[in-house]
Amino acid sequence: MLPGMDTPAGGSREAAAAFFDLDKTIISRSSTLAFVPSFYRHGLISRVQAIRGAIAQLVFRAGGADHERMERIKEQVSALCRGWSVERVTEIVTSNLAATIAPIVYAEARGLVDAHRAAGRDVFIVSTSGQEVVGPIGAMLGASGIIATRMRHADGRYTGEMEFYAYGESKAAGIRQLAAERGYALPDCFAYSDSVTDLPMLEAVGHPHAVNPDRQLRKVALARGWPVLAFAGPGGPAGQGGGGLRAGQTCEQQVQ
């Protein structure tokens, strides 16, 4: 199994699964940057770094993240967390989860996660963010497991190097490996993302969905006839406002 992947202890085999990107797909912003204020309050970063993080969050929300920006974020995060205590980061994320992440979960995304689970499918979050961030979010949403970036650590502290970077083709490779191990039929599986950088992940399954897509992904989705979902915002009733799910469909109908 790839680093950064967590599966249920029971290891039950299901016919299909649903794979969700996290940032701007399940939640309305960057999960890593969302914890910048918490990291500042607990002394992990300086005031200047916190301000830079807030600016980066605004840029991400406005324009998403293309390949070049993702590479810059990768280098910045790797350098920033060097020397941090793994246990301390996990404590900060867990203790601030309800206040930081719960308010920015798209109601439509939560509805789809619940609908897939009700239909008997396992649900996985597939994210470039670190497993210490993604794991607690997955648990909060009732996900079966995660595929996420894993930072290398020694003596309980991050070294600034990555063991596994869950990005681009690596996300798709993780999905294919998971499917082989658990017996999922990929043509029957679902995937959701907002970014063209996740095109390999979307192409790996039989039911790809573009969620609030960037310009490039919208173009691909429309050309290929993929469903394009518009999530209105966190906290509201699923499927209402700003377009919601596909016109006239409930979450349950969307996952059939």
Query: Domain extents for the chain?
Result: 5-254
Find the catalytic residue in 6, 23, 194, 198: 23
How far apart CA 216 and CA 206 sit, in angstroms, is 20
- Looking at residues 123-132, what average pLDDT do you find? 93
Q: Residue 161 has which token pair?
A: 């190097």
| Lowest mean pLDDT segment, chosen from 3-12, 203-212, 222-231 | 3-12
Residue 110's nearest CA partner among 134, 130, 138 is: 138
| Global pTM value | 0.80
Confidence of residue 195 (pLDDT cuts 50, 70, 90): very high
Instruction: Give the pLDDT score at 85.
Output: 87
23 is an active site residue: yes
- Helices 131-141 and 86-95 sit at what angle, rounded to 10 degrees? 30
Contact 255, 122 (CB under 8 A): no
Whether the per-residue pLDDT at 218 is higher than 90: the answer is yes
Contact 133, 93 (CB under 8 A): yes
Tell me which CATH code domain 5-254 carries: 3.40.50.1000
| Lowest mean pLDDT segment, chosen from 134-143, 157-166, 237-246 | 237-246
DSSP state of 237: P
What string of H, E and C letters represents the secondary structure of 193-222?
ECCHHHHHHHHCCCEEEEECCCHHHHHHHH
DSSP state of 229: E
The fraction of the chain above a pLDDT of 70, given in percent, is: 73
**Total length of the chain:** 256
